[in-house]
Structure 1
């Protein structure tokens, strides 16, 4: 399996993975957000490619000045085709993202997980994540 930066040609495959995982069509806003990750050093994205087919993706973001940190990395989304889960694809994608963050002098990486998503919590704990000093807050508009 090959792990590499996402390019514009990968977007169709990434959208298909997201739709397969969520069982619904992505919105135009989601497509636009995905496009913002192509060739954007502050929004790195990587894919897992197996024999020319994208089987997983990860989207990150570097934020400046968030929560008192000069630079912080955010793991925004990771997706792996269901028939490729459990093979370490997501973990390898995270390693690529973290390597990119380190190269840009990021020292802390954050993410958010639904409180009742045990499988996602386990995945992130296996990557070394733990609770942070921050609490997610929400405001409905």
Structure 2
């Protein structure tokens, strides 16, 4: 694999052939293989029709998928005007801190701005300090919305 810092990283729309490497990267990072989940995600985001305002982007270095980001524009949910939602961003631990996450996030933001969106939101676990640090370094901060949950078991 080429060093990510060499600039030899391409950001592009995910292809069907990228699905296995995405599943493997997610399993490496989370410790769980979720093939059925990723198949559904690819159908929804990787095969979105033009104009659907959904994006599944991958970062490729040396012919290998080294990261991905997925997001879409949602509107009027929870009383919110149209905004972008980032659902997942993940970078291969071997090439973290090489600017790949920044490039993926920037590409997603560019696509969303092109769709007329001016706000990007995401949710994360309060104890996920790695991703919290990344998002803060990108200029994200606490939102005006408060997530709530309850156990319904």
TM above 0.5, yes or no, is yes
> Following TM superposition, by how much is the alpha carbon of 1:110 offset from its aligned partner in structure 2, in angstroms?
0.3
Alignment-derived partner of residue 41 in structure 2: 33
Divergent runs of 4+, >2 A? 66-70
Alignment-derived partner of residue 122 in structure 1: 133
Alignment-derived partner of residue 76 in structure 1: 87
Alignment-derived partner of residue 134 in structure 1: 145
- In the alignment of these two chains, the number of paired residues is 141
> Following TM superposition, by how much is the alpha carbon of 1:27 offset from its aligned partner in structure 2, in angstroms?
4.7
1:7 to 9, 15, 19: 15
Q: Over the residues paired in the alignment, what is the CA RMSD in angstroms?
A: 1.4
Q: Structure 1 regions of 5+ residues with no counterpart?
A: none
Alignment-derived partner of residue 106 in structure 1: 117
Larger Rg: 2
The alignment's TM-score, normalised by the length of structure 1, stands at 0.92
> Following TM superposition, by how much is the alpha carbon of 1:23 offset from its aligned partner in structure 2, in angstroms?
1.2
Q: Structure 2 regions of 5+ residues with no counterpart?
A: 1-8
Q: Are the equivalent residues in 2 in contact too, given 1:8–1:35 (CA < 8 A)?
A: no
Alignment-derived partner of residue 66 in structure 1: 77
The alignment's TM-score, normalised by the length of structure 2, stands at 0.86
1:20 to 24, 28, 31: 28
> Following TM superposition, by how much is the alpha carbon of 1:34 offset from its aligned partner in structure 2, in angstroms?
3.1
Alignment-derived partner of residue 92 in structure 1: 103
